[in-house]
Structure 1
Amino acid sequence: MDRGARRYLMLLAVLVGFLVMSDGKKSKSRFSNIKCETYNKTFADFETCKLKLLGRGIIGVQVHLKLYILPIDTVSANLSIWRRYNSFQPFLHNSTIDFCKFVKQTKKLSFERLVLDAISSRSNLNHSCPYTHDIIVDNLVFSDTFLQTLPLPQGEYKIQMLFATENIWRVRVDIFILRDE
């Protein structure tokens, strides 16, 4: 059995365990923070990177990444989950994908697909390369339906997304999620 298959079997076993332990309770999960960083301000810069209170207990993410060198024909993305113990530690998933190819692929279940599907509904990242415009995420709200597919135990998590073009890391976005029971 190859390494990727073992990793997904382990992920499936953990998910089934969390489903059994959840007792059918609804969670109260929300975004708690967001941090955006560009490594080269002549390539891109964040005009907006913040959380916005949309209503009673509803928090949305707003991101506007201004791109200065267009078009973008190649994009690599690294997605990882971190869990806070005393500090943030790697948790369960870390992978790098060819983002342009991935967007074209059919819908197969993976952590990357879950994140992309959640972001695509509220952004202009819903097509493949080339990208000839700024990247905008507008009022993305964390939904517990995301956790139906990927249930996580109570705690604080960070989803870290790194993006590269032409094999040069350009942008990092850290989204922090607080998961309560």
Structure 2
Amino acid sequence: MGNLAGKLFGLLLCLQCLTELHGVLIRFTNMTCESKDLSMGTVEYCEVNTLGRTKNSIRLRYTLLKPLFKDIWFHFQLMTKGTESLDGALNWQPFLYAMDVDMCRFWKNRYNYLARKVFELIEGFSNLNHSCPYSVSATSPNLI
């Protein structure tokens, strides 16, 4: 195993221990969704709603205009507020994870550990569990 692979494995093992032993609180404050090809599908809504002081829900609906996708990629990236720029605005910077997941391959064998953990959180609240070719609009009415 290469040096980088060993470090990545160690990091994932530490994160797994943190979530199992102590729990990790992740709270979304903002979410951005966009369709790269508007002729294929549109984002109807994509928002984070506050349910309480420590609880948010995510609402998302993506409507397919042309069914039967065979090549679906999901880009996931955590961002954190960085330093202020010269004009006083806060810059968003990548934090810890940025990954691209081939969803057709993922639905067959769940090959990506982090994507598998994220999917386990949302699978009871969405209709994303379909194999390729994908012909159903994606909906997540209230992901808590």
In structure 2, relative to structure 1, the CA distance for the partners of 1:80 and 1:3 (3 Å cut) is: farther
More off after superposition, 36-45 vs 86-95: 86-95
Q: 113, 136, 142: which is aligned to 1:133? A: 136
Unaligned 5+ segments in structure 2 are 84-90
TM-align CA RMSD: 3.0
Kindly tell me: are residues 7 and 45 of structure 1, through their superposed partners in 2, closer, same or farther at Cα, counting changes over 3 Å?
farther
In 2: Cα distance, 1:96 partner to 1:29 partner? 20
The AA in structure 1 aligned to 2:71 is T
Query: What residue is the counterpart of 2:123 in the other structure?
Result: 120
Residue 124 of structure 1 aligns with an amino acid whose one-letter code is N
Q: Within 2, Cα distance between the matches of 1:109 and 1:42?
A: 29
Relative to total residues, which structure has the larger strand share, 1 or 2?
1
Using the TM superposition, name which of 50-59 and 76-85 deviates more.
50-59
Please give the alpha-carbon distance, in whole angstroms, between the structure 2 residues aligned to 1:88 and 1:62.
Answer: 22
User: For this pair of structures, how many residues does the alignment match?
Assistant: 135
Higher relative contact order (CA 8 A, sep 6+): 1
Q: Could you list the runs of 5+ residues in structure 1 that have no partner in the other structure? A: 142-181
Match of 1:44 in 2: 41
Question: 1:62·1:140 contact (CA, 8 Å) conserved in 2?
Answer: yes
Aligned match of 1:105: 109
TM-score calculated relative to the size of structure 1: 0.61
Whole-angstrom distance in 1 between the partners of 2:73 and 2:112: 19
| Partner-residue secondary structure (3-state), 1:74 | coil
Decide whether aligned partners of structure 1 residues 33 and 66 sit closer, same or farther in structure 2, where only a CA change above 3 A counts: same
Q: One-letter code of the match for 1:71? A: L
TM-score in terms of structure 2 length: 0.74
